[in-house]
Amino acid sequence: MTTTGAATTASPVVSGTTQPTTSSSTSSSSSLKSSMDIAGNFQTFLSLLTTQLQNQNPLDPLDTNQFTQQLVEFAGVEQQLKTNDSLSSLVNLEQTAQSTQALGFVGKTAVVNGNTTALSNSQATWNFNIPSNSNLNISIANSAGQTVYTGSYSVGAGNNQSFTWNGQGNDGTQWPDGQYTLTATATDASGNSVGVDTKIQGVVSSVDLTQTPPLLTINGQTYTVSQISSIAN
């Protein structure tokens, strides 16, 4: 379904935002501190063991079983350090893979879950997933919550059905560019409610690789890769 108050040729745009996450840097700092603590304990353990061996009574040497147990503990600490290093390497590899995947989205039109988008150059686009033939009722409100457009349409079943609004109200008023929220409800021929999944779409203009996970910029707003439901082209 492609329907509009008046079609335009401007590229569809999107709004919505995900605040940059700080959990990655906090997690990395915690992981580094933990590794340093373990390394410090390892060195302390080694020093204590060496000192114990140097100062043991020749007439009453350290019990063999006790010494063996200490060596096992020594090996366990060493293995934990190596395991932490390996896990850090795996995390770095995963982050590299995420960055590579994110870069592949640049220039593509991404479809994102949501119902708030930007009217830009008198054009705003939403997508619908509709499970059955329905009568679709649409209401569009501006950022102040004021209803600026309503409409009713007969639509068929299907996914990623596009609805484009040219920014004109029902009375012909041309509303300014900005953030607009669409609410969609649907009923079937018997009047029963039909669930409608609303999505927005826009071109991925850039990727911020300094964040983990990387953030994709769509019309000046940011999303993680996990928020992308599909690529339109």
Q: Cα separation of 183 and 188, whole Å?
A: 17
Residues 6+ apart with CB under 8 A from 161: 1, 2, 127, 128, 129, 130, 155
**Candidate CATH numbers 1.10.3720.10, 3.40.47.10, 2.60.40.4070, 2.60.120.260; the one for domain 109-231:** 2.60.40.4070
Retrieve residue 152's tokens: 């009713």
CA distances from 86 to 23, 29, 73, 91, 94 (A): 21, 17, 20, 9, 13
Q: Is the CB of residue 113 less than 8 Å from the CB of residue 229?
A: yes
DSSP string covering 109-162 = EEEEE-SEEEE-SS-EEEEEEESSSEEEEEEEEETTS-EEEEEEEEE-SEEEEE
- The pLDDT tens digits for 41-78 are 667 767 776 776 677 766 666 666 676 676 667 667 66
Count CB atoms within 10 A of the CB of residue 70: 16
How confident is the model over 170-224, as pLDDT tens digits?
999 999 999 899 999 999 999 999 999 999 888 888 888 888 788 888 766 788 8
* pTM for the predicted model, two decimal places: 0.56
